[in-house]
Structure formats: C-alpha cells, structure tokens
Amino acid sequence: MSPQNRHFESLGVHAGREDLKTLGVHALPIDLSTTYPIQDLGVGTDSLDALVAGDREATNPVYARLYNPTVARFEQGLAALEGTDTAVAFSSGMAAVTAMVLARKGRGDHIVGVRPIYGTSDHLLSCDLLGLPMRWVKAEEVASAVNDKTALVIIETPANPTLDLVDIEMIVKAAGDVPVMVDSTFATPVLQNPIKLGARFVLHSATKFLGGHGDVIAGVIACSEDDAKALRQIRVATGALLHPLAAYLLHRGLPTLSLRVLKAQDNAEKLITWLKQQPQVKNVFYPGLNAGQQAIMKKQMRGGGAVLAFELVDGYQAAATVMNQVKMMTPAVSLGSVDTLIQHPAGLTHRVLEESTRQNTGIREGLMRISCGIEHVEDLIADLAQAFAAIKQRKVA
C-alpha cells in the first residue's frame, strides 16, 4: 500500500518517518545545531542562496535560521495529513499569520476577511501594521468585496470563539482567483481538510491540538511547494523558524492526534447535552448545533470537534464565578490540550478587539469557551455543576 492510500490514523503514525528504517533508528531524531560546518565554500554558498530563495532544502543547511531537519520532518508529517505538497512551520501561530500577509504584499493592496477569528489575528490584521489594509465582511459579501487588487481572503472555520461555520467552497468560489487561507485550528486535519475544498492555504496554531499537551508554541501553514517558497523567504528574513525541540514534540504528537481529538469530541458532545439542560445557560454554541449550519457541517467536517461555547444568563458575574470556582478544569486561554480548558473570550482572548466588534460577532460578556480534554466526562460535568451551584449561592447572598 502506498503512503498516499493509507488511512488517516496510519498517516499520523508514519508520515515523516519513512527513512527511519534506513537510518537504523525507531525514535525520531532531533538536530539542535545552530550552525553547520562548511566542508566546501562553493557548496555552502550555493546552499545559502537556495535557502534564502525559499527552497525546501539544500546540500548544506548552513545556519539553523535557514533550515532545520527536525522541523522539516514535522512539516512533512503535517503536509501528509492535510494532503498538500508541503508545510511551513513557524515559531508561533501569529508568526505564521504575519508571514502569510507579508508573502502576499505586492500581490494586491488589501485583504478581505470574515469575522469572527482569533482575537490577536483580528487585531494584527486590523491595525495595518503589516501594510495590507483589512476589509471585514460577512461570508455572503465576499464576492462583492474582492477585486483584482485583493491579495488574500482569510476565514476561520469553526470560528473562534463562537464556533460559527463558514462554507469553504462558497468562499473559494466567491474569491475567484484570489487565494483563500483557512484557519482550521479548531477542526484539525482529523475533522477537516480545506485544501480538498479549494482553499490554497491551511493555517494551524500548532500550539493547540497538534501539540496537544500545553508545552509547545508553534504555527504551521500547509500549502503547495510553489506557495511555500515565499513563506520560507519571509521566515528566513524574520527569523521565525520553529525551534527543533518544538518540532520534535509536535511530530511525536501526530500519531495520537486522531485519538485525542475524537475522545475530546465525544466529551464535548456529552457536555453539550448536559449544558442545554441547565437553567444558568442561555445558549450553547457548537458546529452543527445550529440547524441553519448543519448543511455546511455535513459538507466539510467529519465531526464537530472538541471546542464548545456557552452563554450564561447572568452575564459577566456568572462567568467570573465559574472561572473562579472550577476545580478540575484549567481556567486558562489556549485550547486543544489533553486537559480541559475554560476561558472568557470577552475578557481574555478577544479583549484586544473593540467592544462594538465583540458585540457584533456574538462575543458577549456571558460567553464562555471550553476546550474539552480527554478526562472522564462525568468528572467534567461534576466540576461545572459545582461551579454553577456557586452562581446560585452568589445570587442568594
């Protein structure tokens, strides 16, 4: 069976490891070198030129800001899961977003995007720091917003933090010749492959599910080899290459990605059933839960994922009480870890946005986001139940 015909779980275990038998090792090698000996000056010069130009590799790595073999292995593994030629890994998700925008400069004079997306990404794109003004529109307005001066279209689906779904195929069609980048962090390649739906770039905050253990910060963009060259050029110039130890940990986590995501998704679905029965909860948000988005869910996802959001009846004070009272859940930003994280988007991850923007995109004061881990779901329910009881006690007092 060729690697291309393997099932996802098998790809996760073996991608980027094809040469280990030849090397005579079973565990992934790691290269922590910052510089590489130049055995021949001509080869070194040619290698430097190739890497600065954005080539995937060269005879001599020269310097670790230009290339690292451990990082390249992780890129190879992630690309196999997304079905792309390659991937380009960065020191953080925000470094990846920055490189994506800079790589599109000169290809247009503005970007079109659909909200909501991750708060810091929104802030970076909106403040015009990178020299490409942002036009925020609704999904159905993309076709009228793009023109021959549009450099890129950016969407996130499922969206952070409201779990809204955006029809990827519809956006690609509306964008025409303009490339579309999809932030697919919440879905992971386990549940969604935007490239197969026509997107040109797939962004992951690898810090989240790809890392999965709360000990790595990284970003990665899966794309074609032609598109990767420009991204690598930016990465070389800005020094945003992922650290090899982080790449090693990310690659080590790929074999269990499917297991972790599917277990956490099962917890999320059971937790939602319980939340919908609680009087303290006004609304629950999750892919496919809204009848109007079930068709999109069915078309482009293989499951709703591990992240959910809910809005509390009593707003900010109730949310603050829950954050303070949970005992097993970790009250913290980020997501995708093996432990369950709970946070308040309006006060934390999306705090950098204007209040009007938060309100217009459904990020209200009573909204909370949970990233389910792989604990037993009855323990998660019990933890929330005692936190919700504290809401009642506060109201009585």
Cβ proximity of 77 and 251 under 8 Å:
yes
Query: Residue ranges per domain, the chain?
Result: 3-254, 257-396
Domain 257-396 in CATH 3.90.1150.10: yes
Q: Which CATH number fits domain 3-254: 3.40.640.10, 3.20.20.70, 3.30.300.30, 3.40.50.970?
A: 3.40.640.10
Residues of the chain scoring pLDDT < 70: 1-4, 395-397
Instruction: Give the per-residue pLDDT at 10.
Output: 95
Pairing between β-strand 150-156 and β-strand 201-204 as defined by DSSP bridges: unpaired
- Is 208 an annotated catalytic residue? yes
The residue annotated as part of the active site, out of 122, 164, 167, 183, is 183
The residue annotated as part of the active site, out of 67, 118, 248, 286, is 118
Instruction: Give the per-residue pLDDT at 5.
Output: 80
The residue annotated as part of the active site, out of 73, 200, 208, 358, is 208
Instruction: Give the per-residue pLDDT at 263.
Output: 98
Which residue's entry shows tokens 């709703």?
Answer: 304
- Is 266 an annotated catalytic residue? no
Instruction: Give the per-residue pLDDT at 396.
Output: 61
Long-range contacts of 245-249 (CB under 8 A, 24+ apart): 245/30, 245/32, 245/70, 246/91, 246/211, 246/216, 246/217, 246/218, 247/68, 247/70, 247/71, 247/73, 247/74, 247/89, 247/218, 248/28, 248/30, 248/70, 248/74, 249/211, 249/213, 249/215, 249/216
Instruction: Give the per-residue pLDDT at 392.
Output: 79
- Is 21 an annotated catalytic residue? no
The residue annotated as part of the active site, out of 6, 56, 65, 229, is 65
Instruction: Give the per-residue pLDDT at 4.
Output: 66
- Is 196 an annotated catalytic residue? no
